[in-house]
Amino acid sequence: MLGAEFHVLAINEETQLYMIFRNTLGYVGEVYSQINNWAAEWGETSFCKYAQPSWTKDVQGNMLKNPRGPISPVQQPNGMILMTYDNTEMLTAFAAVAPVSDRNMIWLTAGKENEMGEIRWTQPELALYDRERTKWHGYADVITSHEGLVFISETYKGPPESEARTHQVPKDLLDSLYGQLTNFEICQVGLVGQFDNSHRDVGLFALPSNIDAFNFMAYPKERYGFTFDTRVTGGEAEELLVKMNNFIGGSFEVPTMLVDGRDEDGVGVTVTQYLNGTAEVSMVDGNGMFEAFQTDPTCSAQLSTKGVHQLALTVDGGPKLITWMVDGKLCDGGKIDRSVYVDNEWPNGHSLFDPRMGDVSGVRGFVVGDSVESGRFYDKVLFVSELIGNWNYDDMRD
């Protein structure tokens, strides 16, 4: 492992050093010093890990992905560590060449010591993006003011001219991120309606006529769109088994409909699911433009296990971004397995859609499928931390 850009922080009441570094293996590296003996040899190197959820720990789905890009861990007054990273595995970006898929977006996570004295990280929130997809964010740095305000500085080195920019991180995003590990509450902001399996028999679950969350050409604000947070019936698998080459079986397989918001012309949003657990969102606008994106193999495998699962979808009109969450885990593409893929087809678990996508309102409502136990619809893009709060609440109640 080739490491670079080493950041050293004092932890465990300043009795121990914690080093974080970028490397060539596609994850953020970490290593701890000996307690009360900083001159001794460092411990064994490892990779930074998310604090939750527990189901990912045996499939290497809980490690922070990063494409050898810069990281910026900075301790905060509340004792947590804020860090920027790229949340995708290594592709081709390094030095002067940085494809959009790599570094157009900067993600923010917060690290906290657990009861074992180990640093564990929150699921990330999207902090920066650029609608100009030829641009990227380079060498991001976290800056905290004496007043507790947090900023991210970054540079863009490319045509037509280089830029240096500073952005304030919104307080609501920070508060949500800091509170993620103890969030057991349902998000009420933007909640348009709740539905359960009784709506299978009532036909269309209608939405208010003033909902504009499906119109991606409206640009009402910086981040806008919609969120489906559903609970769906799992498959028959007794345990989680991830197969990175476990593609949808058979080109003639008819998927199960979970949510259908299409009108008679086929305009609208659908969410479907295949036998191997894979969920797929499809969107068609009034001009016939089509977009689709599926859950990655790790999240799909979890959905195929027995039980009721969280399947949450956000479609964000700001960066034009589709994300999935399964059982409290933001899908990130799963384990990096070069023995299966030389070029991993799942470097991350999110997807950018065409910025020309228009209005996908369809029937301004949706039909609920038989596999949906319950769900919530929001006319906003929920923070990852808010979706985790929903999952924690439902999981605790069950």
User: For position 252, which CATH number holds?
Assistant: 2.60.120.200
Expressed as residue numbers, the domain containing 216 is: 185-397
| Per-position pLDDT tens, the chain of length 398 | 555 678 999 999 999 999 999 888 888 999 999 999 888 899 999 999 999 888 877 666 789 998 777 899 999 999 999 999 989 876 544 443 444 445 678 999 999 999 999 999 999 999 999 888 777 777 889 999 999 899 999 988 777 788 899 999 999 999 999 999 999 999 999 999 998 877 666 678 888 888 889 999 876 667 899 999 999 999 888 787 776 554 555 456 788 999 999 999 999 999 999 999 999 999 999 999 999 999 998 999 999 999 999 999 999 999 999 999 999 999 998 887 655 444 556 788 999 999 999 999 999 899 999 899 999 999 999 999 999 999 999 988 76
Nearest residue to 45 (alpha-carbon basis) of 2, 90, 13, 76? 2
CATH number for the domain that contains residue 172: 2.120.10.10
Percent of the chain that is helix, strand, coil (3-state, to 5) = 10, 35, 50
DSSP state of 299: H
209 and 155 housed in the same domain: no
* Residue pair 213/374 in contact by the 8 Å Cβ criterion: no
User: Does 233 share its domain with 90?
Assistant: no
Strand order from edge to edge, sheet including 256-260: 204-206, 365-368, 256-260, 268-273, 279-284, 290-294
What integer pLDDT is reported at residue 103 of this predicted model?
66
Whether residues 158 and 193 share a domain: the answer is no
Quote the CA–CA distance of 191 and 24 in Å, as a whole number. Answer: 42
Task: Give residue 144's pLDDT.
Answer: 95
Q: Domain ends where: 181, 208, 228?
A: 181
In this structure, are 198 and 176 located in the same domain? no
Specify whether 15 is located in the same domain as 164.
yes
Q: What is the DSSP letter of 221?
A: S
In DSSP notation, 65-126 reads B--S-----EE-TTS-EEEEE--S---S-BTTB--HHHHS-EEEEEEEE-TTS-EEEPPPEE
Q: Are residues 284 and 177 in the same domain?
A: no
- Total domain count for the chain? 2
End-of-domain residue from the set 181, 200, 230: 181
Quick one: 273 and 354 in the same domain? yes
- The whole-angstrom separation of Cα 54 and Cα 111 is 17
| Tokens read off for 320 | 């034009």
Is the same domain home to 295 and 359? yes
Q: Which of 136, 158, 181 lies at the terminal end of a domain, its last residue? A: 181
Contacts of 237 (CB under 8 A, 6+ apart): 277, 301, 304, 305, 306
Residues 155, 211: one domain?
no
Residues 173 and 195 placed together within one structural domain of the fold:
no
389, 350: one domain: yes
State whether 122 and 253 are in the same domain: no
Upper half-sphere CA count for residue 176 (Cβ side, 13 Å): 24
Return the pLDDT at 29: 94
DSSP element (H, E) containing 174: helix 171-178
